[in-house]
Amino acid sequence: MAKFKIGSPSSPKELIDRKEELADLLTKMKSRSINYNVAVIGYRRIGKTSILVKLQDLLEKEEKIIPIYFDVQKNMTEPKIFFTRLQKTIFDSYIQKLSGTQKAKTVTTKIMGEVLSKLLDAFKSKKITSISAQITAEGAIIPKIDFDEKKPDYTNIFYSVFKTLKALSEEGDVKFVVILDEFQDFTNLTRYEGLKDIFNLFRAVVQERGDNVSFIISGSRVHMLNKILDSGKSPLFTHFEKIIIHEMNKKFSIELFTKYLSAKKINVEEDIPEKAFELVGGNPFYLMALAEAWKPKKDIKETYHDILTSPLGSLKNYVDYILSEDLGNVKGGTILKTILRALAISEEGLSYSEISHAIGVPMTKLSFYMSNLQNSDLIEQVEKRFKIRDNIVRDYLEIEAKELE
Ligand SMILES: Nc1ncnc2c1ncn2[C@@H]1O[C@H](COP(=O)(O)OP(=O)(O)OP(=O)(O)O)[C@@H](O)[C@H]1O
Ligand SMILES: [Mg+2]
């Protein structure tokens, strides 16, 4: 129970619901007749990583399947270190599976030696020359990637790392399920020579991966990912099936809220969890933030207002973070903020001409800003009107706008 922590992904044991999503993912990933690739898409903090980590946990129990979980965002850095980390994750998952099937509890140096020679054989048979492996003094197997320091061929390294999956899957007659969380962050590598068209490189990887590798890509940039996946111009993504992660329903939202408080040995009055759901909806992170701050006998609405407005409030900090991430570095950040405030105080959203009028920017200049806000999922278009997508962000901006009046 102590692990029921706010912020980090739910531990597989503590995960509430998500049974349908997991069943769907599990069937697809276990299939060896159809080789699925899946895109798991959902807004920030909706529970994607929690689902993926649970999936990894379930797949680890399957014979002949090796799940690999890799967070592209957390591991992002310059290419050399990034690819070495990815390769190390592949090795670790493979070795864990192999040694897991051995009787001996501790993996001996002898076994590691055998694994190593298997690895090297597999690479040789697939003509992967730029990647090899070595055993450290502690007996761990780590990758060694050959770089020409003066002129590194990143394209080749990118291909080679993914090729090791094919090589190892054939060698061990296993299937790899490669989960790439925060997939869109691969764009950070496009500034390096040889990786400019990284999504095209990835397409080639998907096409040539062989029969025993499935990819799951995941991310929170819903608008952008949908654009990539639906665009006829990106043939890569026609091979990906979308699984959308929605808010949790009322029943499980109430369960999550109640569970969080009972883990802290706090009894909640009957109607509080339901009111919490009415206030923040089925986003698990919002529910937990509310549960964390609520004190017995307190009006939950007041609690909500507190954490959204007080300087140390968890939701205030969260919205601040989102706004600075999405607007902070963009040209025209102040205008974007003005548009958002105008939308926040409107009852039913605003049309293009109403926005133009409200903020004094001509309609012709507006589309740049609007597509910017849509790309970052801050606003959404419903028929002809634009609205703030997330109710918590909307409430935050509405309070702020009214204070400024
Ligand atoms: N089904 C669930 N049961 C219990 N807790 C959950 C569940 N789903 C999410 N949570 C909690 O909600 C928070 C957000 O979950 P998670 O990190 O999985 O979301 P995410 O969609 O990956 O977020 P991000 O956009 O930041 O990557 C975490 O604190 C997690 O523990
Ligand atoms: Mg996540």
Using a cut of 0.75, tell me whether the model's pTM lies above it. Answer: yes
Residue 141: CB atoms within 10 Å: 18
The DSSP code for 12 is G
With beta carbons less than 8 A apart as the criterion, state whether 49 and 91 touch. Answer: no
Instruction: Answer yes or no: is the C-beta of 175 below 6 A from any ligand 1 atom.
Output: no
Give the Å distances, CA to CA, from 243 to 121, 225, 350: 37, 12, 30
Task: Provide the mean pLDDT of the chain.
Answer: 90
Instruction: Answer yes or no: is the C-beta of 58 below 6 A from any ligand 1 atom.
Output: no
Counts of helices then strands in the chain (DSSP H, E)? 16, 9
The answer to whether domain 12-244 has CATH 3.30.465.10 is no
Helix (H), strand (E) at residue 54: helix 48-60
Per-residue confidence (pLDDT) for residue 235, from 0 to 100: 60
Instruction: Answer yes or no: is the C-beta of 183 below 6 A from any ligand 1 atom.
Output: no
Same fold yes or no, 12-244 and 317-404 = no
Residues contacting residue 84 through CB under 8 Å, at least 6 positions apart = 143, 145
Instruction: Answer yes or no: is the C-beta of 210 below 6 A from any ligand 1 atom.
Output: no
Per-residue confidence (pLDDT) for residue 234, from 0 to 100: 62
Taking the centre of ligand 2 as the mean of its atom positions, its distance from the CA of residue 102, in whole angstroms, is: 33
Ligand 1 atom nearest to CA at 7: 29
Per-residue confidence (pLDDT) for residue 366, from 0 to 100: 93
Which residue minimizes the CA distance to atom 17 of ligand 1? Answer: 9
pLDDT tens per residue, range 39-58: 999 999 999 999 999 999 99
Contacts 24+ apart (CB under 8 A), 267-273: 267/296, 268/294, 268/296, 269/296, 272/300
The least confident of 2-6, 32-36, 63-67, 258-262 is 2-6
Taking the centre of ligand 2 as the mean of its atom positions, its distance from the CA of residue 352, in whole angstroms, is: 33
Residue 150 — very low, low, confident or very high, per pLDDT cuts 50/70/90?
confident
Q: Max CA-CA distance within the chain? A: 75
The least confident of 87-91, 118-122, 248-252 is 118-122
pLDDT tens per residue, range 347-405: 899 999 999 999 999 999 999 999 999 999 999 999 999 999 999 999 999 999 998 87
With beta carbons less than 8 A apart as the criterion, state whether 315 and 286 touch. Answer: yes
Nearest CA-CA partner of 146 in 157, 159, 136, 155: 157
Nearest CA-CA partner of 310 in 319, 322, 298: 319
pLDDT: which is higher, 89 or 96: 89
Taking the centre of ligand 2 as the mean of its atom positions, its distance from the CA of residue 46, in whole angstroms, is: 8
Residue 199 — very low, low, confident or very high, per pLDDT cuts 50/70/90?
confident
The least confident of 83-87, 209-213, 246-250, 382-386 is 209-213
Per-residue confidence (pLDDT) for residue 102, from 0 to 100: 52
Q: Per-residue b/e over 247-286, b at no fewer than 16 CB within 10 Å?
A: bbeeebbbbbbbbbbeeeeeebeeebbebbbebbbbbbbb
Class of domain 317-404: mainly alpha
Does 108 score more than 90 pLDDT? no
Instruction: Answer yes or no: is the C-beta of 44 below 6 A from any ligand 1 atom.
Output: yes
Per-residue confidence (pLDDT) for residue 4, from 0 to 100: 46
Closest listed ligand to the CA of 71: 2
Per-residue confidence (pLDDT) for residue 232, from 0 to 100: 58
Instruction: Answer yes or no: is the C-beta of 42 below 6 A from any ligand 1 atom.
Output: yes
Instruction: Answer yes or no: is the C-beta of 79 below 6 A from any ligand 1 atom.
Output: no
Per-residue confidence (pLDDT) for residue 104, from 0 to 100: 47
Which residue minimizes the CA distance to atom 25 of ligand 1? Answer: 44
pLDDT tens per residue, range 111-146: 788 888 888 998 998 888 899 999 888 878 899 998
Does 318 score more than 60 pLDDT? yes
Which residue minimizes the CA distance to atom 31 of ligand 1? Answer: 10
Instruction: Answer yes or no: is the C-beta of 45 below 6 A from any ligand 1 atom.
Output: yes
Does 105 score more than 70 pLDDT? no
> How many whole angstroms separate alpha carbon 336 and alpha carbon 327?
7
Does 239 score more than 90 pLDDT? no
Find the angle CA(104)-CA(110)-CA(115) to the nearest 5 degrees: 90
Nearest CA-CA partner of 242 in 17, 60, 48: 48
Mean pLDDT of 17-37: 93
Per-residue confidence (pLDDT) for residue 3, from 0 to 100: 41
Nearest CA-CA partner of 225 in 284, 177, 180: 180
Which residue minimizes the CA distance to atom 16 of ligand 1? Answer: 47
Instruction: Answer yes or no: is the C-beta of 49 below 6 A from any ligand 1 atom.
Output: yes
**Which of 48, 285, 314, 318 for mutating ligand 1's site (highest number of atoms within 8 Å of CB)?**
285
> How many whole angstroms separate alpha carbon 57 and alpha carbon 164?
23
Per-residue confidence (pLDDT) for residue 328, from 0 to 100: 73
**Which of 50, 183, 258, 325 for mutating ligand 1's site (highest number of atoms within 8 Å of CB)?**
50
Closest listed ligand to the CA of 252: 1
Domain ranges of the chain: 12-244, 250-309, 317-404
Mean pLDDT of 80-90: 96
Per-residue confidence (pLDDT) for residue 172, from 0 to 100: 85
pLDDT tens per residue, range 169-189: 998 889 999 999 999 899 999
